[in-house]
Amino acid sequence: MVASVSTQAAVRGYVVPESESGDQVELVQGAGGLVLAMVSNELCVAVVQPSRHGPESWCLPKGHLIKDEPPLQAALREVREETGLICEAADGLGFLEYTVMRHGAPIAKRTQFWLMIPIAGEIDRLSEADRAEIVRARWHPVSDPEGALTHPAEQEFLSSSLIRLRESPA
């Protein structure tokens, strides 16, 4: 879902930065999952390598909302498409907000994340169509959080989410 500052951002209370020229910055709403599972007796997070990034770029599974798609539905769809995992959503983890440059113009991204638990599927078993966007999906041990994700904002989001989950009552 793409909206201007005056519509979507104002409604959600998100302040989108202005570009250097003072123009409004495009706001892109997204949804994704922080997928955790025990793999070989170690807690791991699902990470993906998008084809539009470099070969050493790893991200959390996420994507854009399609038309009026509810964010949770979009998050479950994106996780399935990008990882091959069918998940159940647990807790909402909040929003990850950052700005990227695309074709010389800043784009503000605001992605809502949920904690997810896989209930079916297999990591990196993707359809041919989904493989065009994702080079690879894999499990990464959370005991090595520094090497899990390439983007600093995602790395900080993962670290802070793990701390909150560890501190919350069972």
Task: Note the pLDDT tens digit of each residue in 116-166.
Answer: 999 999 999 999 999 999 999 999 999 886 677 988 889 999 999 999 998
Cα 157 to chain center, whole Å?
Answer: 10
Q: Would you state the pLDDT for residue 169? A: 67
Query: What's the CA gap between 141 and 29, in Å, rounded?
Result: 28
Residue 114, judged by CB atoms within 10 A of its CB (0-12, 13-18, 19+), counts as buried
Region of 22 (left: φ > 0; alpha: ψ -120 to 50; beta: rest) is: left
Q: Would you state the pLDDT for residue 168? A: 80
Q: Which sequence spans correspond to the domains of the chain? A: 2-151
Query: What's the CA gap between 61 and 78, in Å, rounded?
Result: 7
Query: What's the CA gap between 80 and 126, in Å, rounded?
Result: 8
For residue 119, which amino acid is it?
A: I
Q: Are the CB atoms for 158 and 144 separated by under 8 Å?
A: no
Which residue matches tokens 């359809």?
A: 127
Q: What is the pTM assigned to this prediction?
A: 0.83
The pair of structure tokens assigned to 51 is 């084809």
Task: Give the dihedral of Cα atoms 114, 131, 110, 150; nearest 10 deg.
Answer: 90
Q: Would you state the pLDDT for residue 146? A: 67
Looking at residue 145, what DSSP letter applies?
A: G
Q: Would you state the pLDDT for residue 13? A: 42
Task: Note the pLDDT tens digit of each residue in 23-80.
Answer: 678 889 999 999 999 999 999 999 999 998 878 899 999 999 998 999 999 999 999 9
Percentage of residues of the chain with pLDDT beyond 70: 84
Query: What's the CA gap between 72 and 70, in Å, rounded?
Result: 6
Q: Give the right CATH number for 2-151 from 3.40.50.300, 3.90.79.10, 3.30.565.10, 3.50.50.60.
A: 3.90.79.10
pLDDT band at 22 (very low <50, low <70, confident <90, very high): low
